Structure 1
Amino acid sequence: MTATDAKAAGRIVPDVPPRNEPAGVSALSIDGVSHSYGPRRALIDINFAVAPASFTALLGLNGAGKSTLFSLVTRLFGIQTGRISIFGHDIGQAPGEALRQLGVVFQPRTLDLDLSVTQNLLYHAALHGIARRDARLRSDEVLTRIGLADRAGSKVRDLSGGQMRRLEIARALLHRPRLLLLDEATVGLDVKARADILTHVRQLVTEQGIGVLWATHLFDEIISSDDLVVLHQGRVLAHGPVGRVVADAGAQDVNTAFMRLTGAAAVSGSATP
């Protein structure tokens, strides 16, 4: 299906700029990244990559360092040690080029509850320098795509928790990024809303070729086709396809593999001081 055919069929097709990066470049590359809050080491020599058009789960308990890592990728925090690049663009040396490729959904809600669904999207589009006419077209597209077209004029405070989260994902996609970061995106949602959000995000990978880094502490949000990064007390304990991580841990499932990996880490003294 061509881009024109896909648009005619009602799918959102990202406006992908000409690619200057070499073949095989990672959507996200984390190389030797460490970060400390004073004497406390939050991240210790983090190394992993997210491939384009793939779903990578970043699995870790609360306090593992997931949110710190997201703050570094999005430049909320400056990088103390190491390098982060997005589609080959170093976020320290070429932040504009890097961040244009990136959409983010943080764990805390950041919507304006007193604005309508569409007004929230248009405000975000303006921050990205998207012309108002184009912004309206994109807003209509993403709302249709996530099933909120009938709530376009509703105030955000009148939406359910799941609808709010879907709106945040739609907002993150307005500028048509090629990499999407989601930090504990299903926290506080019921089982059905969680499943709906996950289904939608996985469709972004398969239908639009977006690379996804999905941070979670919930084992049941991870499936066998995912890539998996196990983050524990600031260290990456395992990284690779789910099946390989599970097999290397001598386990039968992700839950058991995680328990064995994190238990071994504690015994070997790799806990963050």
Structure 2
Amino acid sequence: MSAVRAAEVSGTDSGAPAFELADVVVRHGRVTAVHGVSMASPPGRITALLGPNGAGKSSLLGVLSTAARPDAGTVRIFGHDVREAPMAARRRLGLVFQERTLDKELSVERNLWFHARLFGMRRADARERIALLLELFELVDRRRQPVEELSGGLARRVEIARALLHRPGLIVLDEPTNGLDPAARATVWADLLRLRAELGVTVLFATHYMDEAEYADEIVILRAGRVVRRGGAAELKSSLEASRIVVSCADEEAAVRQLRTAGFEPLVEPGGVAVHCADPEARIAAVVRSLDVPGLTVSVRHPSMNDVYVAAAGSAS
């Protein structure tokens, strides 16, 4: 994505949170999908939603996108209540769905024109915006190419450009890189990070990729319609207190005995014999000195986002 006239791409309302949910409840018939969730983001922040199927991610995105109404609580986009002023909220919101929604038979440019007409943009404004976004996303040479001829990564780039056409301050994405290869995933995230860094666009996305969650300033993990963890990636990892020294050898029983004799509290785990401690780098030498076993290898492991997710998915609150 080029740096051309970047400041002209997005529009935000100063003073109000980009999005704000307060005590939101969503029901589907007799099933409560979201139980009193509250969360908010200032402009310019990236927020990730994580959670297993049925955790409430899609229901939250549904009320945030104005596609559904909350059964209780309030949802605001840049200060505009989605119940009381849905059109005002929608104008400040760009959406990228998990399912591909471009017209495959139309060209890249015609897809953008169709979106501009849906939002009632004046022709001169739409022409200028389309030209700007084609250049910004390096799609000028593909403007007349049918979408069905594009790779998955390029098609996703067109969808993000389309979502920005009407100058939203918030872009909401549901599984933005689902089905893409690693190179295309990296390109999509380079685009999204630049949107935040250069344009001040607020990003909210749902994903099942743990590595993608680490792009976010705040990660919100949902379980059974409730928030069970939230914070930055480093904060969430450190909260587990699961850093460890892992010993691999040909005689784990002997390693356990020797470590206990040296005053450690070893645990046999799938990856080897583990010594959990807050500062494994400082204690690894002592662990090595205490061991006299064949085939010894010792490594340090810190909690990953996958560890955080597994811990949260099993928590009750």
TM-score > 0.5, shorter chain as reference: yes
Match of 1:100 in 2: 91
Q: Which amino acid aligns with 2:308?
A: A
Counterpart residue number, 2:260: none
Report the AA paired with residue 13 of structure 1: E
Which residue of the partner structure matches residue 9 of structure 2?
Answer: 14
Partner of 1:182: 173
In the alignment, is residue 260 of structure 1 matched against residue 255 of structure 2?
Answer: no
After the TM superposition, which residues 59-138 of structure 1 pair with which residues of structure 2 at under 5 Å, given as runs? 59-138=50-129
Report the alpha carbon displacement of residue 233 of structure 1 after superposing the two structures with TM. Answer: 2.2
**Which segment is superposed worse, 124-133 or 176-185?**
124-133
The answer as to 2:199 corresponding to 1:208 is yes
**Residues 115-264 of structure 1: pairs in structure 2 closer than 5 A:** 115-223=106-214, 226-251=217-242, 252-264=303-315
**Structure 1, residues 102-161: CA drift from partner, whole Å, max 9, x if none?**
101011111111111100000100111111222122112112211211110011111111
Q: Is the 8 A contact 1:58 1:66 kept in 2?
A: yes
Q: Residues 169-195 of structure 1: CA distance to partner in whole angstroms, max 9, x if unpaired?
A: 000000011001000010100000011
Aligned length: 256
Secondary structure at the counterpart of residue 264 of structure 1: coil
Give 1:202 shift: 0.8
- How many angstroms apart in 2 are the aligned matches of 1:250 and 1:194? 31
In the aligned structure 2, how far is the partner of 1:169 from the partner of 1:224? 17
Going from structure 1 to structure 2, the CA distance change for 1:137 and 1:76 (only over 3 Å counts) comes to same
Query: 1:63 Cα shift?
Result: 2.7
CA-based RMSD: 1.9
Distance in 1, Cα, partners of 2:216 & 2:3: 30
- Percentage identity across aligned positions? 41
Which letter does structure 2 place at the counterpart of 1:264? S
- Letter in structure 2 aligned against 1:55: I
2-structure distance, mates of 1:61, 1:94: 32
CA distance in 1, matches of 2:152, 2:3: 31
Contact 1:229 1:236 in 2 (8 A): yes
Provide the rounded CA distance (Å) in 2 between the counterparts of 1:163 and 1:8.
18
Distance change (3 Å), C-alpha of 1:208 and 1:15: closer
2:107 and 2:215 mapped to 1: Cα distance?
Answer: 38
Q: 1:15 to 1:238 in 2, by over 3 A?
A: closer
Question: Does the aligned pair in 2 maintain the 1:64–1:232 contact within 8 Å?
Answer: yes
| Aligned partners of 1:117 and 1:153 also within 8 Å | yes
Aligned residue type for 1:161: G
Contact 1:224 1:243 in 2 (8 A): no
Q: Retained in 1: the 8 A contact 2:7–2:198? A: no
Secondary structure of the 2:115 match is helix
For the pair shown, which has the larger CA radius of gyration, 1 or 2? 2
Divergent runs of 4+, >6 A:
none
Give the Cα separation in 2 of the matches to 1:116 and 1:257. 43
TM-score by length of 1: 0.88
The one-letter amino acid paired with 1:125 is A
Q: For each residue in 1:17-66, what CA deviation from the matched residue of structure 2 results, as whole angstroms up to 9, or x when unmatched?
A: 7x4x6x3x311111111112122221111111122101111112233221
Pairwise CA distance, 1:9: 4.2
**Residue type of the alignment partner of 2:184:** A
- Contact kept, 8 Å, 1:35 with 1:79, in 2: the verdict is yes
Bigger drift between 168-177 and 46-55 goes to 46-55
Change (3 A) 1:46 1:95: same
Three-state SS of the structure 1 residue aligned to 2:6 is coil
